[in-house]
Structure formats: C-alpha cells, structure tokens
Amino acid sequence: TGMTAAGLAVAALVLFGLALSGANSTAPAAAGTALTTTTISGTTVLTNAKGFTLYSFAPDTPTASKCYGSCAAYWPPVTGTTAAGQRLPGKVGTIKRTDGTEQLTYNGHPLYTYIGDTAPGQAKGNNLNLNGGLWHEVPVSR
C-alpha cells in the first residue's frame, strides 16, 4: 500500500504540472486582444476576447501588481495595450510588471484570469481568498 500511495502522489503531481502548463497558454488575453463583457449570475463582468472572466486582486494598487511567482501561475496577468478596451465604459490603462510586460488595468485594477475557469462564462475565482488576498470578478460598472 505504501508503493501505491507514493505512485498516486507522483501521478497527481505530474497531472498538476500539466494542468498549469496547459492553462497558462490559453487563459490570459494576448497583447492587442480586445476586452469584452458577459453577464454571470445577473452581473455584467469584464472578460477577455475568449470570454474568460477577468479578476482583480485586493492587495494590488492602481500602479502595482502584488501577484508574482506561484500566484501568477494560478492567476495569469492580462497583458496588452489600452486599445483593448476601446468600447468599455470604464478606463482601461496599463501598469509595468517587474519583468517589463504591460499588464492591463480597468478603473485602476490590474487584471487577471484564473486557471480554474476552464470555459468562457465561468467565475470560479470570484470571492476566493488565495495568494494573500481576495479575488473578485471585475464588474463593468466599477
């Protein structure tokens, strides 16, 4: 039974690693990709062009992200230019991340996707307290 438990643990780690590597390539908005909206549970929220819900992280400031390393593996930052939000009612901007990439912001909130959302229209990351703070879907009226 000890060998079976060890084998299951190794298999779980391998699958977790595959999930992380695969999710990072599809979830975040690419540079120049338009932002859009959708309605989830009666609330109009911000999404990337693929329909994935965008989130804000409570510890962030309007000028700095506090999500790096393993945090950013679970919550990939949305990168791009302000042209991505031309048709939105709020203000779209950017901040510079420590690696030099431009991260999109909406009304002063840096934007992220969540690897737990596996299909457009999901908001599995809403109201989670992970990686040192609360995560919230970004309502368009913000």
Separation CA 10–CA 2 (nearest Å): 12
- Domain coordinates of the chain in residue numbers? 2-137
Q: Report pLDDT for 94.
A: 95
Q: How many CB atoms lie within 10 A of CB 84?
A: 25
In this prediction, residue 16 has a pLDDT band, given cuts at 50, 70 and 90, of: very low
Q: Report pLDDT for 84.
A: 79
Q: What SS3 state is found at 110?
A: strand
pLDDT average, residue stretch 43-49? 95
Q: What SS3 state is found at 120?
A: coil
Distances (CA, A) of 114 to 7, 18, 47: 29, 16, 11
CB 56 within 8 A of CB 112: yes
Q: Report pLDDT for 30.
A: 40
Q: Report pLDDT for 1.
A: 54
pLDDT at 129 over 50: yes
How buried is 11 (Cβ within 10 angstroms: 0-12 exposed, 13-18 middle, 19+ buried)? exposed
pLDDT average, residue stretch 92-119? 96
Identify which has the larger pLDDT, 83 or 120. 120
